[in-house]
Structure 1
Amino acid sequence: MRKKFSAALAVAVLAAGMFVPMPRAQAIDAWAIAAQALGVFGAYKSSLAAVLAMGNDVHAQVESKRQDLAEQGRAKNESDIHLVDGIMERLVEHGDYVLRANSLPFTWALTDSPVFNAACYPTDYVTINRGLVHGLNGNVDELAAVLGHEMTHGLRQHSAHNYAKAAAQYYGMAFLNMNTGLMDWGKMNALVNYSIAKNVTLPTEYEADEGGFRIMTSAGFNPGGGAAAMARMGYYLTYETQELQEYQDPTQKDLPQDDFSDHPATEKRENRLAQYMTDYSAGHVTVKDRKTVCIDGTPLFTVTWTDENYDNSPENAYLAAGALARAFHDFDAAEDWGLALTRDGGATLRGDARVNELLYYFLKTSHTGGQLRDLVQAAYAGEAASGAREKLRAEEQSRADARAKERAAVEAADAKAIEKMRENSDAYSDYGDTARALALMERVFASPNDKDRALSYVIRARAYAARGDAAAALQDADRGVAEGGKNVLTWVNRADVRRTLGDREGALADCMKAMEVDAKSPYAYLIAGELYDEMEDTAQAQTYFKKLYEVEPRAVARIPDTYLKDIDKKAYDKRIKEQKQAREEREKALREKNKKESKIKS
């Protein structure tokens, strides 16, 4: 799921003029100029490049998260946060997927929004609303399916490609309209929006559903989680939501095609995800009428409600069936199940007890443990003739081969892509995110196209230092300087490593060496100035901040007020004036806020 209407809103920014009526001739002339200058393909390529570049920028990722939390608020319930973190960590660490060379590692946050939704930004930041967690009743497997879906949007870079395709459709339709003059602009907008929803975003939603299923099952979650999530979502959006924009009209569910929306109909998605579960079981496990679990068409049991507030039978059916599907998938013979009948008429089997929990419950209440044993034995006996298991393994091998090709493409990424990975790793270290910094450096060191291995060592050293691993940091930093002593960046990065580890004298020595290598590089002067300031040697600090300003005037923001006053009085006065104005604006805003609150209380 992506944020509703996000594609339409994004394109509206591109085509803002189209929504403000102007004389028709002027509109055509304006679009004629744009279309002739860019062309439809040019519009697509330009938009795609811009969004992909943003998606591969750590600062944009951090800003995505910051703005989202500023707007939605950070969730306050620690249990919800722990739940989401656990699911995302498991998906990210154990899911079978490949990050593209120009993609960032996933990051995420749980917001305080009550809306039933989650979304993946082009920066691979996944935003999850507490409304989604509560709407799915905190069910681990249902949440895993939704979050795997969002990860697929990021992995396949759907936001970037959808935005670019939408832009191209706007340009294309505008070009057609200006040539024929047969359609007014209002009708054209409606047609383009419909085309975008049907031809651009809907296909990626289906792809994300399947991708999410593959990620969550490979990470060990219940294969029935996706269909269960859709069943729950359908009920929630029809009978429970308090958000008008989320409401799903039950009278529209039997339409022959998806309605005017950028997401497929919930029931269609439920059926598709149920089929993925069946395929995952080598075709053995199905759910009939959303409540009866069958093996090779023979009913095993019919589920009942387990929730006091609503009929959650469909969810129960898919989750119980999902446990069976996982067993059929993971075990190549009936005896591998470790089936053991219980005194209450149920049965137990090998596997994750959490995944099997509902299966055990309904086997016990229906007293069908013995029947399960017989059906499982018959199912495997029939595979020799049907070839179902060979087909399953062949399909999985085909997907594995495709992922292997994707991994090979990442490892063969060109020098420019590797340089960007190293740059992003350095940015993560600046933010204190050492896990992602080191993850990117692992990709850099695995590449044969790293053209500056010495620099890579000192960049990785910064990540180790930020993590507190002094031994690894110094080992990498020393090696980087030894192999790349003619590069000023190896010296300034080792200076930063030594500074982080508390070795100020060593850091200053590296700064002096960096100045010898390149007297015009600003970084050594900056670090030296900051170090002397920390050591309360104001005279030396003044000297190096002054040199910093001489070689790079744009670094003025890094010079403290104390030193800037003597270095450039004009720049200092401007800063003080701006600080005063900003302070006055904040105070004014606070007074207005307090005034409004007082009126409300009175």
Structure 2
Amino acid sequence: MRYTKRWKRGLTAMVLSGFMITGTVLAHLPKAEAADAWAVAAQALGVLGAYQSSLSSILALGNNAKAQIESQRQDIQQNGVDPNDNDVQVVNQVMQQLVSKGDYVLKENSLPFCWTVNNSKDFNAACYPTNYVSVNKALVRGLNLEPDELAAVLAHEMTHGIEQHSAHNYAKAVAQYYGMAFLNMDTGVADWNKLNALANYSIAKNVTLPTEYDADAGGFNIMTSAGFNPGGGAAAMARMARYLTYETQNVLEYQDPDPKLKEQENYNDHPDTDKREQKLAQMMTDYGCGHVTVKDRKDVYIDGQELLSVDWDGDYDNTLENAYFVAGAIAKAFHDNDSPAGWNFRTDGDGNVTCLTDTRINQALHRFLSTERAGARLQELVTAAYASEAASGARAKMKAAEQARQQQLAEQREAVLGAKAKAVKKMRENGDTYSDYGQADKALFQMERVFAARNPENEAENYAIRGRAKAISGDFTAALQDSDKSVAMDGKNVYNYLNRADVYHMMGNTEAALADLAKAKDADKGNPYGWLMSAQIYEELGQRAEALANYQEFYRLRPKAFRVIPAGYLQDVSAKDYKTLQKEKEDARKKYEQQWNKEHKDKKAADKKSAATS
């Protein structure tokens, strides 16, 4: 049907959950009920199969380590890598802190996070279904490399991945498109252009939009638990609003400062930055037992009493951001300390009252306490705030909310630990894929999950795969211990011998590697990998006759895999396939040459046009 081409282009964007450019009518329901309700709705519309198939396919994509690596490769190929080492270093530090210290649980069918700072000029970040986070250089620069603001944005993206928003939103979008199309075929009430516009609007407002609020809330919890300033989220929204209004060079990013224009209905699938700022500011207040607020875009209050007013101190008016950083530091102190004693109020060398530790999170607070001479005022307000908590129940409310969240995380961890053997096997397979690509850290992360699971599926093979990952990390002693254990536990499994042979090979012990490959062939003569690995080792040793014999047997078992055989050997193994390979290489060379000539020609034309207009 002709209309399918149009909506499929729109659905492509749904595969990404992005900070700026990537909801449900049923968003008020708990998540499990909402998912069931969507299935019921899809069934009522006669598109249950499309809904379930779409959801299943994207979830499967998100649990494929090779697809994750390909996601990163394609992003880099399309956008390049940010050439500024400082940009990359700051993002790496923020992401490492979020990933290692943040409080979250990966689902059994999710992958560990990876990320790249690309060279795009668009103010955006996005999380692929594979938990690959693409961070645009323009966003890093737009947020002035501010760690707490970046943490809020990147934790927002992590939440999209953790909650698998892309898969669920895509499936809901498919159901809506198909459902509206089928209804229209029955009633004929709208032409296809109007129907497409209606579907796009409905998906933006009812499918994607609510998940953006969810990602803001989840991101706040991750970034605060990782130790970042609780005011970073609201500050990021304030900074984003300014950037999109006064600094962006991209007309598609522009945000009109007129509140009336902001309120007009549109197809945007992200909440207005002002609304997001307000919600994140309220989260900051709640985090700090309800004590601290920001008013009039510059004033910091504690329990309705003004503490101080901030000012801007940068290359632009960053007053509001500073207010949130000061308020965030205070909120964190209220959250982390059950009494004023934990604030460590003291007198500095100039006779002013100061408090807390001298860390980055408290820098803005310390600076404005000093310039405004407000340390004594803060001590007074903080002491009064704690005294009022028994009556207000503010701290008990905050701790109850924390306890509920921790209980939810504990239940999620239990669910992953109790994953079925099939899911654990997929974790192991993803670990082995990471090893194939030399990513030992992710391979070992996956194997930690495998060994923690209560349904290990194949314990001997688990040791074999972990042993290989340890060898790739350079820990050969531990690698051989795991490899030996796998063979001792199951000497009939060909893959245990193959993995130990690979470990020996990496260690440089080719004699032991070939001995294990001989055992692998005895265990399963029909397995091609023993012959392939033997051929490669003999080739390294310069023993051509032995290498050729093993390549020939590999080809007999897997003739369609002829491309892995070096051309110098393939010519003797299969003259026909050798000719095919040579033709493919020549075609690829011509295609590359044509593409290069086209790009070179286009660049010359653009340069000529630019010179003529300047």
Partner of 1:127: 134
Measured at CA, do residues 273 and 335 of structure 1 come closer, stay the same or move farther in structure 2, by a change above 3 Å?
Answer: same
TM-score (normalizing by structure 1)? 0.92
Counterpart contact for 1:344–1:364, Cα < 8 Å: no
Counterpart contact for 1:481–1:490, Cα < 8 Å: yes
Counterpart contact for 1:488–1:518, Cα < 8 Å: yes
Partner of 2:484: 478
Counterpart contact for 1:342–1:369, Cα < 8 Å: no
Distance in 2, Cα, partners of 1:253 & 1:153:
30
Partner of 1:251: 258
Find the partner of 2:176 among 156, 169, 175. Answer: 169
Distance in 2, Cα, partners of 1:393 & 1:507:
57
C-alpha displacement of 1:259: 3.9
Partner of 2:153: 146
Partner of 2:11: 11
Partner of 1:581: 587
Measured at CA, do residues 239 and 290 of structure 1 come closer, stay the same or move farther in structure 2, by a change above 3 Å?
Answer: same
- Equivalent residue runs for 1:357-376 within 5 Å: 357-376=363-382
Distance in 2, Cα, partners of 1:600 & 1:41:
50
- 3-state DSSP class of the match of 1:110? strand
- 3-state DSSP class of the match of 1:301? strand
C-alpha displacement of 1:77: 0.4
Distance in 2, Cα, partners of 1:328 & 1:191:
47
Partner of 1:341: 347
C-alpha displacement of 1:353: 1.5
C-alpha displacement of 1:37: 14
Distance in 1, Cα, partners of 2:564 & 2:128:
31
Distance in 2, Cα, partners of 1:516 & 1:108:
43
Letter in 2 for 1:130: K
Q: Deviations over 1:148-173 (max 9, x none)?
A: 00000000001111111000000111
Partner of 2:246: 239
Find the partner of 2:215 among 208, 211, 233. Answer: 208
Q: Deviations over 1:402-430 (max 9, x none)?
A: 00000000001111110100000001011
- Equivalent residue runs for 1:545-584 within 5 Å: 545-584=551-590
Partner of 1:23: none
Partner of 1:385: 391
Measured at CA, do residues 257 and 593 of structure 1 come closer, stay the same or move farther in structure 2, by a change above 3 Å?
Answer: closer
C-alpha displacement of 1:342: 3.2
Letter in 1 for 2:398: L
Distance in 2, Cα, partners of 1:294 & 1:8:
50
Counterpart contact for 1:345–1:368, Cα < 8 Å: no
2:272 paired with 1:265: yes
C-alpha displacement of 1:40: 1.8
Measured at CA, do residues 338 and 88 of structure 1 come closer, stay the same or move farther in structure 2, by a change above 3 Å?
Answer: same
C-alpha displacement of 1:497: 1.1
Letter in 2 for 1:118: A
Partner of 1:29: none
Distance in 1, Cα, partners of 2:420 & 2:287:
37
C-alpha displacement of 1:483: 0.5
Partner of 1:47: 54
Counterpart contact for 1:305–1:313, Cα < 8 Å: yes
Partner of 1:289: 296
Distance in 1, Cα, partners of 2:219 & 2:44:
40
Measured at CA, do residues 177 and 329 of structure 1 come closer, stay the same or move farther in structure 2, by a change above 3 Å?
Answer: same
Distance in 1, Cα, partners of 2:12 & 2:333:
48
Distance in 1, Cα, partners of 2:45 & 2:560:
34
C-alpha displacement of 1:455: 0.4
Counterpart contact for 1:166–1:200, Cα < 8 Å: yes
Q: Structure 1 residues 319-328 or 339-348, which shifts more?
A: 339-348
2:348 paired with 1:325: no
Distance in 1, Cα, partners of 2:469 & 2:278:
46
Distance in 2, Cα, partners of 1:318 & 1:205:
21
Letter in 2 for 1:415: A
Distance in 2, Cα, partners of 1:225 & 1:253:
27
Measured at CA, do residues 398 and 71 of structure 1 come closer, stay the same or move farther in structure 2, by a change above 3 Å?
Answer: same
Measured at CA, do residues 458 and 571 of structure 1 come closer, stay the same or move farther in structure 2, by a change above 3 Å?
Answer: same
Q: Deviations over 1:524-543 (max 9, x none)?
A: 00100000000000000011
Partner of 1:496: 502
Counterpart contact for 1:345–1:370, Cα < 8 Å: no
Distance in 2, Cα, partners of 1:550 & 1:259:
61
Measured at CA, do residues 12 and 322 of structure 1 come closer, stay the same or move farther in structure 2, by a change above 3 Å?
Answer: closer
C-alpha displacement of 1:364: 1.2
Measured at CA, do residues 394 and 454 of structure 1 come closer, stay the same or move farther in structure 2, by a change above 3 Å?
Answer: same
- 3-state DSSP class of the match of 1:71? helix
Partner of 1:17: none
Partner of 2:415: 409
Measured at CA, do residues 378 and 253 of structure 1 come closer, stay the same or move farther in structure 2, by a change above 3 Å?
Answer: farther
Unmatched runs of 5 consecutive residues or more in structure 2:
1-6, 15-41, 609-614
Letter in 1 for 2:439: D
Distance in 2, Cα, partners of 1:601 & 1:188:
43
Distance in 1, Cα, partners of 2:602 & 2:50:
46
C-alpha displacement of 1:598: 5.3
Partner of 2:308: 301
Distance in 2, Cα, partners of 1:123 & 1:180:
39
C-alpha displacement of 1:589: 3.3
Q: Deviations over 1:432-456 (max 9, x none)?
A: 1111100110000011211210001
Distance in 1, Cα, partners of 2:176 & 2:345:
56
TM-score (normalizing by structure 2)? 0.91
Measured at CA, do residues 216 and 393 of structure 1 come closer, stay the same or move farther in structure 2, by a change above 3 Å?
Answer: same
Partner of 2:319: 313
Letter in 2 for 1:301: L
Aligned sequence identity (%): 55
Find the partner of 2:518 among 512, 520, 532. Answer: 512
Counterpart contact for 2:256–2:262, Cα < 8 Å: no
C-alpha displacement of 1:579: 1.4
2:403 paired with 1:397: yes
Distance in 2, Cα, partners of 1:433 & 1:110:
18
Measured at CA, do residues 174 and 475 of structure 1 come closer, stay the same or move farther in structure 2, by a change above 3 Å?
Answer: same
Letter in 2 for 1:459: I
User: Number of aligned pairs?
Assistant: 575
C-alpha displacement of 1:587: 2.9
Unmatched runs of 5 consecutive residues or more in structure 1:
1-6, 15-34
Distance in 1, Cα, partners of 2:270 & 2:565:
51
Find the partner of 2:206 among 199, 204, 209. Answer: 199
- 3-state DSSP class of the match of 1:461? helix
Q: Deviations over 1:488-531 (max 9, x none)?
A: 11111111111111111111001100111111000100100000
Partner of 1:27: none
- 3-state DSSP class of the match of 1:75? coil
Distance in 2, Cα, partners of 1:105 & 1:376:
41
Counterpart contact for 1:118–1:132, Cα < 8 Å: yes
- 3-state DSSP class of the match of 1:244? coil
- 3-state DSSP class of the match of 1:116? coil
RMSD of aligned residue pairs (Cα, Å): 1.9
Distance in 2, Cα, partners of 1:10 & 1:500:
47
Measured at CA, do residues 278 and 594 of structure 1 come closer, stay the same or move farther in structure 2, by a change above 3 Å?
Answer: closer
Distance in 1, Cα, partners of 2:581 & 2:318:
62
C-alpha displacement of 1:220: 0.4
C-alpha displacement of 1:601: 6.2
Measured at CA, do residues 592 and 146 of structure 1 come closer, stay the same or move farther in structure 2, by a change above 3 Å?
Answer: closer
